[in-house]
Structure 1
Amino acid sequence: MDIKEIQNLIKFVAKSGASEVKLEMDDVKITIKTGSDSPETTIIQAAPMQAAPQMVAPAPVAQPTATEPAPSASAPAEDNSKFVTIKSPIIGTFYRRPSPDKPLFVEVGKEIKAGDTVCIIEAMKLFNEIESEVSGKIVKILVDDSSPVEFDQPLFLVDPS
């Protein structure tokens, strides 16, 4: 099971409203618990002749939320509360284009639709396309190209109007 399948499973469980889901396959056991303020996912993968490694990570929030004012200096006339934030669903390296010789996925002022790829985040040599869950116009890009990002870190501000 790859990271994309796990992310999709987490999103599905979060949307379904289930409080706990356990999935056991040949060499992988996944438990996803929600219903508390801190949903968590436990993934245990058995490796032959080794102790089973364990990874615990918070489940990503399925819907984007209204943004909080960015700590960086922004135009005083701007009201960030009307914008929607696209956040990083994983830890990794943020890229604004699919490869160095290709055009940028999005730029400030560009109209996007739900499902459009807005960036790529590389995690453990896997390139994960990050798709927008909202339609609107990109107002601000909050992360520099090729820089590390944390889970739930704001990446873009989108004006949904």
Structure 2
Amino acid sequence: MQIEDIKKLIQLLDESNLTELCLEEESYKIKLKKEKEVIRVEKEVSTISAPALTHSNPTPQNSPTQVDTSIEDTDYQIIKAPMVGTFYKSPSPESDPYVTIGDQVKAESIVCILEAMKLFNEIQAEVSGEIIEILVEDGQMVEFGQPLFKVK
């Protein structure tokens, strides 16, 4: 493979929605990877005050459309699918899963495999912390950008 061919592959990857491209021939193997976006959500508490009851607005003040007092724990990071594919929690059906709830992961930790076009792509956490939720089922098709794991 010539350097011009590699430059073309890099340009194709850069201009596409793909985050990873692997090409393997008998004499070489090339793996190109874009950095993935990591979204960090911090806890935020907000209150909305309801308008007073009037003849023109007969909605009660405790209506859920008027006041939202629920507080949800959002102090976590999301590991998203970098591509469309089938989610597998382990390298083979007989193997233990890469991660389970409560496991500690580092940025380079493999958390799952996504199969796309008969290629099995190991997905790294790219964040550090504790797996607090697995958002998809083994064998489930996932979309690009779909949340896979919550990490605290």
TM over 0.5: yes
> Does residue 64 in structure 1 map to residue 38 in structure 2?
yes
User: For residue 37 of structure 1, what is the aligned residue in structure 2?
Assistant: none
Structure showing greater Rg: 2
Determine if contact 2:36/2:82 at 8 Å carries over to the other structure: no
Shift of 1:29: 4.8
| 1:5 paired residue number | none
Structure number with higher strand proportion: 1
Unaligned runs of 5+ in 2: 20-33, 43-69
Contact between 2:18 and 2:82, CA under 8 Å: does it hold in 1?
no
Q: 1:29 to 1:120 in 2, by over 3 A?
A: closer
2:14 aligned counterpart, secondary structure: strand
Is 2:123 the counterpart of 1:149?
A: no
- Residue 95 of structure 2, aligned match among 90, 96, 102: 102
How many aligned positions are there? 111
| SS in structure 2 at match of 1:66 | strand
| Residue 118 (1) aligns with residue 92 (2) | no
Alignment match, 2:14: 41
- 1:134 and 1:95 mapped to 2: Cα distance? 19
Q: CA RMSD in A?
A: 2.9
| TM-score, length of structure 1 as denominator length | 0.59
User: Which of structures 1 and 2 has the larger relative contact order (alpha carbons within 8 angstroms, sep 6+)?
Assistant: 2
Q: TM-score, normalised by structure 2?
A: 0.62
Which of structure 1's runs of 4+ aligned residues deviate more than 3 A?
Answer: 58-61
| 1:25-54 residue CA offsets vs partner (Å, 9 max, x unmatched) | 18x55426xxxxxxx834xxxxxxxxxxxx
